[in-house]
Structure 1
Amino acid sequence: MDIRKLDRAAVLETVRLLEESDPRDWDLPTPCADWTLRQLVSHMAGQHHGFAAAAAGNGADASVWQPGALGDEPLKSYRAAAEAVLDAFAPQSVLTREFALPEISDTITFPASVAIGFHFLDYVVHGWDLARALGTSPDLDDEITEAALVFALRVPDDERRLGPAAPFRPALLAPPRADTLELVLTTLGRSPGWSAPARP
């Protein structure tokens, strides 16, 4: 399993979804409580820049993890952030590095394959967030969703999911005959049945 290949596919799917959106969509609600589409994408852009900095050895600087300023061209800004992290992960040598990820731990670093796995899981889930906000579904193949489930099952389901800034919520009961992506979502506390309110 090449985690960089899987991560690239998940990230590019988020770009595709946003490229098919409408400028009026940026104020839509998302499955991330209290975040509009713009706020979610700002967070996603910031995480891309943070992981790119971590790949270069600069992840311990908390300022690199701030939400990205999308400006007047949010799609262009997000695409640039996505390209930055994919470029940062592209060299084969990145797999020998240790990543500082202060939002996860300020005392240890993480092997590249683990850190990129965190990023991959985030963008599978955030791709679903984007898709649901836009009233559609992400286009993710079985290899991606099955790998995401492996990573999701490794995320501790403990008190760390209860804080207001927790990226994931306590696990939910999966619906009958849930598919793999639905198992990823419920494992991380998202309801596969979430849908945006009807547009005016």
Structure 2
Amino acid sequence: MKVLELHARSLELAAEVVDAVRPDRLALPTPCAGWTLGRLLAHAVGQHRGFAAAARGAGPDLALWADAELGGDPAGAFRRSADELVAAFAGAASAGRELWLPEIRAGGTFPLRQAAGFQLLDTLVHGWDVAAALGAPSGLVAAVEADRPLAAALVAVAELVPAEPQDRGPGRAFRERREPGGSAGSVGSAGPFDRALALLGRDPGWTPAA
């Protein structure tokens, strides 16, 4: 299944970014309003574990998706949970298993291909969040855009995220769609990664100083 290969690639690229995170940097701000780098990584690792549990057949138990304890090795926690997730997705593919995702809409069962697409988007966008918090997002952006199938998958999933007023804004996972270079509104021409970020309401120009 091609999407699983692309998903595994997204995890590896994100892990390479997270490898640069030392425990003394966990208090840095991130593009996720109000979230420190430590909170963001705890969420990301918790999502890996939640998706892995779902791939192994778990039902609607939100406790399986809780933010993780990172300990003194945030990069190691990220890589271990990523490896667990890749293995769980492979097992689900072999079993022909669908995944119950309690955090999508009101919760429900999704085909593995679709679930892996959701997770690919989450991985690359949060990988960018980490890279932006560290002040160096360009490397991840370049690596993704050099892999045309991966970049295309990122944009394709971002385009499917609901964008009605009730789906976006404070308290929601994403804000209103915006122009890659500035104001909120329609998404114009830009590189695929910036386009995906703007589709999700992220400011591609975000910096820690901002």
TM-score (norm 2): 0.87
Partner of 1:157: 163
Deviations 1:127-166 (A, max 9, x none): 11111111112131222111111111111102122351x2
Equivalent-residue separation in structure 1 for 2:59 and 2:17 (angstroms): 28
State how many pairs are aligned: 197
Partner of 1:97: 97
Bigger mean CA deviation after superposition, 116-125 or 99-108: 99-108
CA contact (8 A) 2:93 2:112 kept: no
Cα deviation for residue 171 of structure 1 reads: 0.6
Q: Secondary structure at the match of 1:100?
A: strand
TM-score (norm 1): 0.91
Equivalent-residue separation in structure 2 for 1:106 and 1:149 (angstroms): 24
Structure 1 residues 59-78: aligned runs within 5 Å? 59-78=59-78
Equivalent-residue separation in structure 1 for 2:65 and 2:34 (angstroms): 20
Q: Secondary structure at the match of 2:26?
A: helix
CA contact (8 A) 1:56 1:88 kept: yes
Task: List alignment gaps of at least 5 residues for structure 2.
Answer: 182-187
Deviations 1:91-125 (A, max 9, x none): 37357221111111445311111111100111111
Task: List alignment gaps of at least 5 residues for structure 1.
Answer: none
Equivalent-residue separation in structure 2 for 1:134 and 1:107 (angstroms): 34
Equivalent-residue separation in structure 2 for 1:75 and 1:92 (angstroms): 26
Equivalent-residue separation in structure 1 for 2:19 and 2:62 (angstroms): 30
Identity %, equivalent residues: 38
Partner of 1:197: 209
CA contact (8 A) 1:48 1:81 kept: yes
Deviations 1:12-51 (A, max 9, x none): 1111111123443221111011111111000000000000
RMSD, matched Cα: 1.9
